[in-house]
Amino acid sequence: MEEEVKHVETKSTKYDEGDIQVLEGLEPVRKRPGMYIGSTDVRGLHHLITEIVDNSIDEALAGYCDTIQVILNKDGSCTVIDNGRGIPCGIHKTEHKSAVEVVLTKLHAGGKFGGEGYKISGGLHGVGLSCVNALSKWLEVIVYQNGKVHEQMYRRGIPQFELKVTGDTTTTGTTVTFMPDEEIFETLEFDYQTLKNRFREIAFLNRGLTLSVEDRRGEELVKDTFHFDGGIVEFVDYLNKNKEVLFPNVIYVDVTKNDCEVEIAFQFNTGYNEIINSYANNINTEEGGTHLDGFKASLTKIINDYGKQNRILKESEKLSGDDVREGLTAIISVKLHDPQFEGQTKTKLGNSEMRKIVSDAMTEKFGEFLEENPGYARELVLKCVNASRAREAARNARENQRRKGVLESTTLPGKLADCTNKDRTNSEIYIVEGDSAGGTAKQGRDRRFQAILPLRGKILNVEKATLHRVLESGTIKDMITAFGCGISSEYNEEKLRYDKIIIMTDADVDGSHIRILLLTFFFRFMQPLIEQGHVFIAQPPLYKVDYNKQTYYFYSDEELNAKMEELGHPKVTQQRYKGLGEMTADQLWETTMDPEKRILLKVTMEDAIEADEIITKLMGEDPDIRRDFIEKNANLVKDLDV
């Protein structure tokens, strides 16, 4: 036994030149794909398309491409077509092979480094196309250039033949078709809606560009084409289309300085929420950065200065950033030669010069707007003053609640059945509709790590409420206290008491309404919960079928019908669950709460723009918009339980 231990120790401490592994060509990408595309899940899968499209966008930014097509093919592959100059086809002078093959097989090879090929570019700076090639089962590239059609095929990154001429052409451009590799990715199914949303965004950011996405996988062709001559001005109009705006025209700022282009479009609405999306070279800088800092600081200063100069504000009054951004919808898009990204997800712009360039642009253009439109300017400042007063009232309400021990109390809500485990990473809380279902859930749960918080009735629709009213809601106060992390600007991730917050409501209209009310609250006041992946939706079964001493549960009509067809329609006992309270504690555990068997849907911020639009439509003040939405989508409802 001692000899065996010694042998293991000797082997584990040995480290010499034999342990140094040299990975050739694209091997590093296949060995560690997450290092290059972030993940191998559905997000990483879609990132492959984004990388190819980014190359086409670079051609558009350089002025050589105005049309990009993305096609989802029947066999599961994807094709990206552009009408740019085409990847260079000549022989590379040091690599002694075609430039196409160099770009597709060498990491950090491309026209983005010296500054001559592209002054502005996004993507992975020469890594993108070779990464897609490395992570594809096969990839075909067709280049239209100099009157000739050039083609080459690859399998898992390895060229099957040299680039060859296969015909004549009068056009230019590049077509890439690739099949994701099942050895790499957890799923191979592209989501059309995800791609549609992303390409709409890209088209907004690049005015004049035509970008289409089509899905040929089903029986009928699905296609969307995006083209916006107004660019980000139309983007703001799109975001504000269901909101009451403060003044009709979108304010537009467009400045070029030191080879940096700054575009800003913004408009105020009468709502309470702000939407600011910032981009650098078409990349969504989700963590902000210097361009966003410059915008926010200048906006606050300009409005304060105008208010005091025109005696709308007293000398002692000072509006905060939160005050001036209430009801603001803004797009900030900068394009620069050498973007420096930082932050946890590398989506925070770090170029220090952008702060001043954006600030100066805002001071000049927005200052002009206020001077030329005194009526709108006064209305805006007064709106900000009202926001400040409402914020002060909410602050006082928070302090009152705090003094009463509601927001920071160690005394948890009386209805909460807490779990015994105090380790947040292994704890979860179910938000359950009604006392009856709450009682069943309490009996069926594993009390070691599952907490239950029953809600009585429907919670407040926070889309129509000020923060002051939100804090007066007993149901919402119970949730805030149970979660422990605070809300809005006082949200603190470290104080969150549960890793998973699971919404569990009945599978009927009322249950759906309660679910959307809860999601609206999380989206507007506890958005980091969604961003950090803490919010889930439980999926209780719709049907229970007993047959031949066996019990089956089904979560959709399709599942039920498929099983009934398999069983040949024998005599079965079938039950349609309309509420959680119809289940026994054991059934609820087995179908909906057991981590080994349950189905949970994670709520994500994958498309915050569309989420904001839908929440505004469904939960906002305008009943006509809501009625129109219902009429347009009523045909999607197959079975309605009222």
The pLDDT of residue 213 is 97
Asked whether the predicted pLDDT for residue 638 surpasses 50, the reply is no
Average pLDDT, the chain: 84
**126-145 average pLDDT score:** 89
pLDDT at 15: 32
Give the percent of the chain with pLDDT over 70.
85
Dihedral angle of Cα 86, 87, 92, 96, to the nearest 10 degrees: -110
Average pLDDT rounded to a whole number, residues 212-239 = 95
**Higher-pLDDT residue of 639, 630:** 630
What band does 435 get if pLDDT is binned at 50, 70 and 90? confident
- pLDDT confidence band for 11 (50 / 70 / 90): very low
The pLDDT value recorded for residue 10 is 38
Going by DSSP bridges, is the β-strand pair 341-342/260-268 parallel, antiparallel, or unpaired?
A: unpaired
Residue 190 has a pLDDT of 95
Residue written as token pair 């001036």? 324
SS3 368: helix
3-state secondary structure of 112: coil
pLDDT of 489: 75
Inter-CA distances, 1 with 10, 12, 13, 134, 368, Å: 15, 17, 19, 46, 84
336-383: pLDDT as tens digits: 888 888 865 668 999 999 999 999 999 999 999 999 999 999 999 999
Mean pLDDT, residues 557-574 taken together: 81
Provide the pLDDT for residue 561. Answer: 86
DSSP string spanning 290-301?
A: HHHHHHHHHHHH
Query: Could you give the angle at the alpha carbon of 533 between the alpha carbons of 616 and 528, nearest 5°?
Result: 55
Residue 347: per-residue pLDDT: 82
**Beta-bridge partner residues of 252:** 265
Q: Which domains does the chain have, with CATH numbers?
A: 27-227 (3.30.565.10), 232-397 (3.30.230.10), 424-540+600-613 (3.40.50.670)
3-class DSSP assignment, residue 504: strand
The DSSP secondary-structure symbol of 591 reads I
DSSP bridge partners of 382: none
Torsion of CA 575, 577, 578, 583, to 10 degrees: 120
pLDDT greater at residue 112 or residue 610: 610
Helix H or strand E encompassing 280? strand 275-280
pLDDT at 631: 59
Question: Which residues are part of the catalytic machinery?
Answer: 433, 506, 508, 510
Closest to 344 in 3D by CA, of 552, 38, 589: 38
Query: Residue 117: its pLDDT value, please?
Result: 54
CB burial string 154-192: b at 16+ within 10 A, e below: bebbebeeebeeeeebeebbbbbbbbbbeebbeeeebeb
**Beta strands of 40-117 (E only): which ranges?**
67-72, 78-82
Q: 276 pLDDT band (50/70/90 cuts)?
A: very high
Q: Which residue has the higher pLDDT, 403 or 566?
A: 566
- As a dihedral over the C-alpha atoms of residue 164, residue 165, residue 170, residue 172, rounded to 10 degrees, the angle is 10
Q: Which of 4-13, 113-122, 372-381 has the lowest mean pLDDT?
A: 4-13
10 Å Cβ neighbour count for 334? Answer: 29
Q: What is the pLDDT of residue 604?
A: 83
Q: Please state the length of the chain.
A: 642
Mean pLDDT for 534-560 is 87
Exposure class string for 79-118: b at 16+ Cβ within 10 A, else e: bbbbbbbbbbbeebeeeeebbbbbbbbbbebbbbeeeeeb
User: Is 563 a residue whose pLDDT tops 70?
Assistant: yes
Integer Cα distance of 86 and 107 in angstroms = 19
Q: pLDDT by residue (tens digit) across 576-605?
A: 887 787 888 999 999 999 999 898 989 887
Q: Which amino acid is at 469?
A: R
